[in-house]
Chains A and B, each alone.
Chain A
Amino acid sequence: MTLDKELVEALEKDYTTAPITPQERVMVDYVVKLTKDATKCWKDDIEGLRAVGFDDRGILQITLVASWFNYINRVADALGVGRE
């Protein structure tokens, strides 16, 4: 991981107050929404990502990275990886 420890801790505690850029905030809002319930994601979310500078390839990458990591989280939790 290359993020500094303080930033990771801030994201874990409350990402809405973490020292991230406005573009990163929009990205993280989308990632959290996608993770909680992707059916809540709408075209407006995509437009919001475009509005802060992400092109469609970037939006696809955000979506795929977040979705892939959700997959890994499910596998790890279900099979006991990293669990006591």
Chain B
Amino acid sequence: MVGWGFPLQIASPNTLWGRVVRQCTLSGETTGTLGKDNLLMTWIRTISRSEADEKLLKAMEGQRALYPVEYATPVHPDASGGSTIVGSHSLIPDALYHAFATFGALMSPELPLSRRQHEMITTMVSVTNRCKY
């Protein structure tokens, strides 16, 4: 389970970290291939920013632009400081963009809920799901 940095670290998908062979950074920075002994990897292949084509780069940058500033820093960063949960979507750029842009839209300060309420909701979802993320 994840945390956007949530639940157990709520925050943003940018802060949901996991393990990926090649970490995609939400910041758009290059992700590196980690050594075998300390791989942070998902169980499927992911595409790093450095290897991303124009469509994937646009998806990564587009969704990130919608995130609240306070959630920009991963709670559980990978070796490159990127987000594993976002990177886990990298094989389908359109899904990556729409999934995380939805989250960004839901965090808008123009909507009724406060940041405290956002975090309370996400914390309880992860606790209920017994998800460590």
Verify A73–B1 contact, CB threshold 8 A.
Answer: yes
Verify A79–B4 contact, CB threshold 8 A.
Answer: no
Verify B18–A32 contact, CB threshold 8 A.
Answer: no
Verify A80–B43 contact, CB threshold 8 A.
Answer: yes
- A-B contacts at CB below 8 angstroms, number: 153
| Total count of chain B residues near the partner, CB < 8 A | 53
Verify A66–B121 contact, CB threshold 8 A.
Answer: yes
Q: Which residues of A contact B5 (CB under 8 A)?
A: 1
Kindly report which residue of chain B lies nearest to residue A24, judged by CB atoms.
Answer: B120
- The yes or no answer to A52 lying at the interface (CB within 8 A) is no
Q: What residues make up the interface of B, taking CB atoms closer than 8 Å to A?
A: 1-11, 13, 16-20, 41-44, 70, 75-76, 84-85, 88-89, 99, 102-103, 106, 111-113, 115-129, 131-133
Q: What residues make up the interface of A, taking CB atoms closer than 8 Å to B?
A: 1-3, 8, 11-12, 15, 20, 24, 27-28, 31-32, 35-36, 54-55, 57-58, 61-62, 64-66, 68-73, 75-77, 79-83
15 further A-B pairs in the complex, CB-CB below 8 A; given A11-B120, A81-B17: A1-B3, A2-B119, A3-B120, A31-B125, A57-B111, A62-B121, A65-B106, A65-B121, A66-B122, A68-B102, A72-B13, A72-B103, A73-B2, A73-B129, A79-B18
